[in-house]
Structure 1
Amino acid sequence: MEKKPFVTKSQVEEIVKTYPTPFHLYDEKGIRENAKKVKEAFAWNPGFREYFAVKATPNPYILKILQEYDMGCDCSSYTELMLAKSCGFDGKHIMFSSNDTPAEEFAYADELGAIINLDDFTHIDFLEETIGHIPETISCRYNPGGVFELSNGIMDNPGDSKYGMTKDQLIEAFKILKDKGAKHFGVHAFLASNTVTNEYYPKLAGELFELIVELKEKTGCDIRFVNLSGGVGIPYTPDKEPNDIAVIGEGVHKKFDEILVPAGLGDVSIYTEMGRFMLGPYGCLVTKAIHEKHIYKEYIGVDACAANLMRPAIYGAYHHITVLGKENAPCDHVYDVTGSLCENCDKFAVDRKLPEIDMGDYLVIHDTGAHGFSMGYNYNGRLRSAELLLKEDGSVKMIRRAETPEDYFATFDCFDDIRITK
C-alpha cells in the first residue's frame, strides 16, 4: 500500500512561485472531514468534546477550523493558554493539563476559567496557595503504574512515567478537593502513545470507567467527565491500516454501557485530547532536492533540515517520502535524505528505497501535521519555515510566515553595543 500525498506536483510548482520551499502544508479538506468523523464517532455521548492538543499544531488558523466543530483546546503552558484565549475559546473549551507547573500558569488558567487537570497530589495545596481557592470543577490525572499492554503487542510503561497520581493518591485527592470546595470532578489518563489499533481507547476507557465507579463509591464526589487523553495514533509506515474512529467510538460506547450505566453514571461526558490523530496525516513538509553526494553511501540533500522536522533525527521516526511526479516510478535507488545541520542525525530517511532523484525534484515528507512544525528549533541559526493551508477550493493561504534573520536576532536588542547587519 502506498501513501498518496494530498498535493500534486503541479500544485507545488504553482505554490513555490509565491512561497519558496521548504514549507509545511496542511490540508483543510482532510482536517474538516476528520473532525466530522470524530464528532460522529462519539455522538452517542451528549457531553462529548475533543480538546485538541495544542502542542501538536499551535496555529490559530488550525484551531479556528476545529472550533467550528465545537472542539476545545488542551493546553500545557502559559503561551498555549494565551493562544486559546486569542482564538476565542472560553474556559469550558480549555483544558489545562500541565506538570511541574509554575504558579503563574495555574493563576492564568484560573483567570480564563479553564478546566485545571492536576498532575500531582502535592499540587492541591500549591494550587490553593496560588489562586486562593479550589475551582468548583477540577480534574486529576491518574497513573496506574506497571505496564500497559494490548493484545496486539503494543506496550507502554506508565510506571516509568512522570505523570499522574496513584489510585490511593487519587482517592485521597478527591476527598480533600471536595472538602476544599470542589463540586464537579473529572479523571484523566494517558497510558500509551501513538497506538495504531482500535483496541486502545476502549481498553483505557474500561479501566477508567471502573476507576470512577470506585471513586464515586469511596468519595461521593460528583464525577462529570472522563478524559481519555490522546494516544490514538496514525500509520506512519504505508504497511499499516489506519485507526477507524467509528469502531473506536463504538468500543468506548460498549464499555460505557457495560460499566457506567449500571452504576448510575450514564450522564458522564467523554472527553478526548487527540493531536496526532486529528492533524498528523493532514500536514506534510515540502522540500526540494538541492544536492547529491556519492561517497560510501548515496545522499540526497534537501533544503529542509531537522530544524523543520526533528522527529527522524531525535527518535529515528519514520516519515514516508514521495518524490512528486515520480509516484509510479520504480523505487530502485537507495538514499539517505539529509538536511544541512552540523549533526549526522539530520536525516529524514536512511537507506530509503526511492525513485531516482534529480536536482530540483520536490519531495513530500508525509504525516507532519502534528509534532512537525511545532517541534522546530533554531540550531545552526536555521530558520523555521512558513506554514501554508491548502484550502478546500484549491487556493493556498499562508497561516504563518517563514522566520527571517531579523526574527532570529530580535532578542539581542537589549544590547546597545551590538547590532547585527547583513
Structure 2
Amino acid sequence: MPMSDAFKQRLFPELERIAEHFGTPFHIYDEAGILDTGARLKEAFAGIEGFQEYYAVKALPNLKILELMKRMGFGFDCSSIPELVMARRVGAGPMEIMFTSNNTAPHEFTAAAADGGCILNLDDISLIAKVPEPFPELICFRYNPGPRRTGNVIIGNPVEAKYGVTHNQVVDAYRQARERGAKRFGLHTMVASNELDYTYMVETARMILEVAELVMNELGIRFEFVNIGGGFGIPYRPDDSPLDLARMSREITALFDDFRARHGQAPRMVMESGRWMTGPHGVLVTRAINHKDTYRRYIGVDACMSSLMRPAIYGAYHHIDVPGAEGRPTEVVDVVGSLCENNDKFAVQRELPRIEEGDLLVIHDTGAHGHAMGFQYNGRLRPQELLLRADGRVELIRRAETLDDYLATQTFEPRTLAL
C-alpha cells in the first residue's frame, strides 16, 4: 500500500540528508514497519497450532532483511541455490527452509540436501525418480488444481501454469514418494498473486485441506503441514481497500478447527508471504535531473527500470510523492528513466505537483519485487539498498553495482574448444 504515515514521518524529514550522504537512487526499507507486519501476521494466525511463515526470499533477497525474518521466527521459501545459501547464512535450519523446486537440475537437489537438508517441495511427479539417494524422509508436493479452480487475475488460469502436480496425479505422487522411503508429508499450493479479496485465500485453504483429506483417505498417511502459498495482496493505489487479515484469519482458522474435529488432528498451516511482508515497507528514492516538453511533458530521473521493472512489464501502478512540493500547482507528466526502451517509465500521464530539477521523488511499494527484479540491460546498473532502522539509524545493506561488477564475468582465464 502507499507507504504508511509512520514511515513517512520517520523518513521524509531526513530524506534530503540521506540522499546527500548516500547519493541517489536508492531503495530504502522500514525496519519498524516490517517487524510490525510480522507481529500482526503471527497474531492473526495464532489460533492454528504450529503456524509458520516461510518468507518468500525472491521478494527481497537481502541478508539484512532475512535477519529480520529470522528474528521473528520465520522460515524461508527458496527456489534457487543462492536463496538457499542466504537462508542458511542467517542461521535457518533444515525445518526452516522450504525449497520449492521448479524445473530442478540435479545439482540443485544436491544443494538442497546439503547442510542437513531442507523441506523439499517437488513441483512435478516426474521429479520423484530424480531426487538423489537418500530420499528425504519428509517430502512435499505442489498441487495445481487445473480446471477445478480459477486462478486470480494476476496469476492466471491454473491449466496454463507450468507449476505443480495435477489433481489426477496427486495421490500417485505421494504413493511413489512413500515407495522411495518418505515417511512424513506436506502439501503445498499457490494459486494467487497480489490478491486483495480475502475470500479467495479462504477458499485456497479449504481446497488444500480437501486435497489433504483425499490423499489421507486413499493412502492412510497424515500430513504434518499444508502450505497455502503466498499471494496476499497490498493496495498499490491509495483508493484500494487492503486485504482483510482479521476476517481471513478467522475463517481459515475455523476450517482447521473443523478438520481437527472430524479427524482428531489437523496439519500445521504454513504460508510463504513475500510481497505482503515487505512490499509496503520499501520505497525507491530518485532525483529529477531533466525535463522535456514534446508531445508530452517528461520528467527524467536518475533511476530507470533496472531499479524497478514492474511499471514497465506489468503496467503496474506505484504511487509517487514529491516531498517539499506541497502547494505547487499540479501537472500531468510521464516520469521516465534513461534506458533505451520506451517503456522505461515509472508513471504515465500521472498528475503530480510541478516537479523541478533537483527534487526528490519517492516511489512507493518497492519493498518486494523491486530491486530483486533488477537487471543490467543497456549497462544500467542496480542501485544501493538502505535500511531505516527502528532506532532512526540508516544503514547501507547493499552497495550499488559498479562498472567492475558489470565487467567481472567477462574477466577470466581463456578457455576454448577446438572443433
Q: TM class, shorter-chain normalised?
A: over 0.9
TM-score by length of 1: 0.93
Residues 132 and 232 of structure 1: CA distance in aligned 2, closer, same or farther (over 3 Å): same
Q: 1:345 aligns with which of 339, 343, 346?
A: 343
* Aligned-residue offset at 1:107: 1.1
Q: Is residue 215 of structure 2 the alignment partner of residue 215 of structure 1?
A: yes
Q: Is residue 136 of structure 2 the alignment partner of residue 135 of structure 1?
A: yes
The answer for the alignment partner of 1:324 in structure 2 is 323
The answer for the alignment partner of 1:311 in structure 2 is 310
Deviations 1:30-52 (A, max 9, x none): 00000101111111122111000
Residues 335 and 121 of structure 1: CA distance in aligned 2, closer, same or farther (over 3 Å): same
* Aligned-residue offset at 1:216: 0.4
Alignment of 1:225-236 (within 5 A): 225-236=225-236
Q: Is residue 377 of structure 2 the alignment partner of residue 373 of structure 1?
A: no
- Percent pairwise identity: 47
Q: For residue 68 of structure 1, what is the amino acid of its counterpart?
A: R
**Aligned partners of 1:200 and 1:232 also within 8 Å:** no
The answer for the alignment partner of 1:411 in structure 2 is 409
* Aligned-residue offset at 1:245: 2.4
Deviations 1:304-341 (A, max 9, x none): 00000011111111111111123x43673100000000
The answer for the alignment partner of 1:89 in structure 2 is 92
Q: For residue 229 of structure 1, what is the amino acid of its counterpart?
A: G
Q: Is residue 16 of structure 2 the alignment partner of residue 13 of structure 1?
A: yes
CA distance in 1, matches of 2:2, 2:122: 42
Q: 1:73 aligns with which of 76, 79, 82?
A: 76
Q: For residue 290 of structure 1, what is the amino acid of its counterpart?
A: I
Q: Is residue 45 of structure 2 the alignment partner of residue 42 of structure 1?
A: yes
* Aligned-residue offset at 1:244: 3.0
Alignment of 1:52-131 (within 5 A): 52-112=55-115, 113-127=117-131, 131=132
**Aligned partners of 2:187 and 2:225 also within 8 Å:** yes
Q: Is residue 210 of structure 2 the alignment partner of residue 191 of structure 1?
A: no
CA distance in 2, matches of 1:77, 1:153: 26
Residues 392 and 167 of structure 1: CA distance in aligned 2, closer, same or farther (over 3 Å): same
Alignment of 1:235-246 (within 5 A): 235-246=235-246
CA distance in 1, matches of 2:135, 2:413: 43
Secondary structure at the residue paired with 1:163?
Answer: coil
CA distance in 2, matches of 1:31, 1:98: 27
CA distance in 1, matches of 2:157, 2:176: 29
Q: Which runs of 4+ in 1 moved over 4 A?
A: 1-5, 152-155
* Aligned-residue offset at 1:12: 1.1
* Aligned-residue offset at 1:102: 0.8
Alignment length, in residue pairs?
Answer: 411
**Aligned partners of 1:95 and 1:116 also within 8 Å:** yes
Deviations 1:351-371 (A, max 9, x none): 001111111111110000000
Secondary structure at the residue paired with 1:168?
Answer: coil
The answer for the alignment partner of 2:257 in structure 1 is 257
Which piece of structure 1 moves more, 44-53 or 283-292?
44-53
TM-score by length of 2: 0.94
**Aligned partners of 1:115 and 1:137 also within 8 Å:** yes
Deviations 1:119-175 (A, max 9, x none): 000000011xxx21321100001001027449x988841111000011221100111
Residues 341 and 147 of structure 1: CA distance in aligned 2, closer, same or farther (over 3 Å): farther
